[in-house]
Amino acid sequence: QVQLVESGGGLVQAGGSLRLSCAASGGNFRSYAMGGSMGWFRQASGKEREFVAAISRNGGSTYYADSVKGRFTISKDNAKNTLYLQMNSLKPEDTAVYYCAAARLVPAQAMSGRLGAMDYWGKGTLVTVSS
């Protein structure tokens, strides 16, 4: 069974940076179980979970929500089975629990609209941005 574990969240001032990590265990990025797209989602208090960023299987294509484009960067290291989200120029509205997710059959470009089709979810890491 694949497990995803996020880390790297915390409290940061507006304008600061954080780097989130998502470590996969129970499968590697090249196996069937993990051979699809991966992405980050977030959920602010009282709001629905929303798409943040996605990366294709080979890492060659990335996609972002308009709200984070130009500030966040998604990447992955297949050798380490780890997904990353570099977050710069953070704003108070970025405050949320951030989740990583993996989908075997959903292409990265479709992740933003297929939240319910993710095969695996982490338990999340809290990011708090103070003004």
CB 93 within 8 A of CB 127: no
Residue 33 confidence (pLDDT) above 70: no
**Element spanning 82, H or E:** strand 82-87
Contacts by 73-77 with C-beta closer than 8 Å and gap 24+? Answer: 74/39, 74/40, 76/29, 76/38
pLDDT (0 to 100) of residue 59 = 87
Residue in this structure with the two tokens 């809290």, named with its chain if needed = 126
CA distances from 7 to 19, 60, 85, 112, 131 (A): 9, 24, 10, 22, 23
Three-state DSSP at 40 gives strand
Average pLDDT over residues 60-67: 96
pLDDT (0 to 100) of residue 8 = 98
pLDDT (0 to 100) of residue 34 = 65
Residue in this structure with the two tokens 């304008």, named with its chain if needed = 15
The token duo for 52 is 């943040």
Average pLDDT over residues 83-94: 98
Residue 32 confidence (pLDDT) above 70: no
**CA distance linking residue 14 with residue 28, whole number of Å:** 35
Residue 100 confidence (pLDDT) above 70: yes
Name residue 54's beta-bridge partners.
39, 63
**CA distance linking residue 35 with residue 45, whole number of Å:** 32
Regarding predicted confidence, which is higher, 26 or 43?
43
Name the least confident of 27-36, 52-61, 82-91: 27-36
